[in-house]
Amino acid sequence: MNTQPPVPGLFDRAEAAAAHVRGLSPGPHDLAVVLGSGLSVVANRLTDSIAIPYEAIPHFPRPTVAGHEGKLLLGRLGGTRSIVFQGRFHSYEGHDLDAVTFPVRVLSRLGVKTLILTAATGGIRADLRAGSLVVVSDHLNLLGANPLRGPNDDRLGTRFPDLSEVYSKRLRVMAKEEGKRLGLDLSSAVYACLPGPSYETPAEIRMLRALGADVVGMSTVPEAIAARHAGIEVLAFALVSNAAAGVTGAAITHAEVLDAGHKAAPILAKLIERAAARIASGPA
């Protein structure tokens, strides 16, 4: 006879994790940021912060990839009460998409209204090279899966969410305005999400280019879908850490991705801080 207690449902697990966070830092928290590979230095812009290791939060997965530290930070960013995730989860690590998007589910239980996603990506478009920074305007979900598949809990979101504007046009306009103030000419880009962990082949990159993709990566899209399911407004930045396979003929390494992230992180941190301040001031 199985005497193990039943595993709590997704809503209950998210609520338990959120309750733990509330106990350490009562809300409201207006903004959350997820940091991609090599971008943890962005967290240094946070003030009055406390750190919670992921392993201390009920039901939280554990990241296994270099460049993902595995901490949840609570503090102020641009004067805004914020939550920053140092490290994310990927399906290529063996996580199912419920685990990949679990932090977003926790944010929804904490009442967060705005989510900023960041990612290191490969540049497909000819003008994008290592160090380029773009605002994600749309995506191609080529994971072969969707984080909303399976029974729907209406407490988490509607059964059939509209994805005609996954990445908020209002926030994209605001981000470009703040970018100009920092001397950045931010262009928009379509993000293609593939499962990884191997980098794409040159033939796959030619396919993605034909489909209209500008950058390619292995994250961001499941989180964005889950956020829109929960009614959270999404802004996403993609750092081009390398030219995609076949663009230059050079091999791609994870060390290259991390190095590009470290070099670009300071300016991205300033941009996110400015965006946070604008978000705190309310709609223009």
What would the pLDDT profile of 100-118 be if each residue is shown by its tens digit? 999 999 999 999 999 999 9
Query: Is 242 a known active-site residue?
Result: yes
Q: Cα–Cα distance between 197 and 92 in angstroms, integer?
A: 6
pTM over 0.95: no
For residue 228, give the nearest of 239, 220, 238, 237 by alpha carbon. 220
pLDDT tens digits, 210-264:
999 999 999 999 999 999 999 999 999 998 887 665 565 566 566 666 666 667 7
- Residue range(s) defining the domain that contains residue 144: 10-280
* Catalytic annotation, pick one of 242, 243, 273, 276: 242
For residue 198, give the nearest of 243, 262, 242, 245 by alpha carbon. 245
Query: Is 68 a known active-site residue?
Result: yes
Is 204 contained in some domain?
yes
Q: CA dist 217 to 34, 190, 213, 239, 278, Å?
A: 15, 11, 11, 10, 28
DSSP 112-133: --EEEEEEEEEE-STT--TT-E
* Catalytic annotation, pick one of 29, 59, 68, 229: 68
* Catalytic annotation, pick one of 15, 29, 59, 93: 93
Is 35 contained in some domain?
yes
* Catalytic annotation, pick one of 43, 99, 119, 120: 120
Query: Is 241 a known active-site residue?
Result: no
Is 24 contained in some domain?
yes
* Catalytic annotation, pick one of 91, 141, 168, 219: 219
* Catalytic annotation, pick one of 25, 254, 262, 277: 254
Is 79 contained in some domain?
yes
The CATH number of residue 104's host domain is 3.40.50.1580
Query: Is 254 a known active-site residue?
Result: yes
Q: How many domains does the chain have?
A: 1
For residue 72, give the nearest of 64, 239, 62, 16 by alpha carbon. 62
pLDDT bracket for residue 49 (50, 70, 90): confident
Query: Is 141 a known active-site residue?
Result: no
The 3-state DSSP class for residue 87 equals coil
The 3-state DSSP class for residue 90 equals coil
Query: Is 37 a known active-site residue?
Result: yes
Is 123 contained in some domain?
yes
* Catalytic annotation, pick one of 175, 213, 218, 236: 218
pLDDT bracket for residue 53 (50, 70, 90): very high
Is 142 contained in some domain?
yes
Averaged pLDDT score across all residues of the chain: 87
Is 25 contained in some domain?
yes
CA angle, 169 then 282 then 74, to 5°: 95
Q: Using the predicted structure, report yes or no on whether residue 17 has a pLDDT greater than 90.
A: yes
Could you tell me if 28 and 253 are in contact, meaning their C-beta atoms sit under 8 angstroms apart? Answer: no
| Residue-level pLDDT at 1 | 45
Segments of 6-154 assigned E as strands: 31-35, 47-53, 71-77, 80-86, 114-123, 133-141
The percent of residues in the chain predicted with pLDDT above 70, rounded, is 86
pLDDT bracket for residue 28 (50, 70, 90): confident
Q: Cα–Cα distance between 185 and 225 in angstroms, integer?
A: 27
Query: Is 191 a known active-site residue?
Result: no
Query: Is 175 a known active-site residue?
Result: no
Is 5 contained in some domain?
no
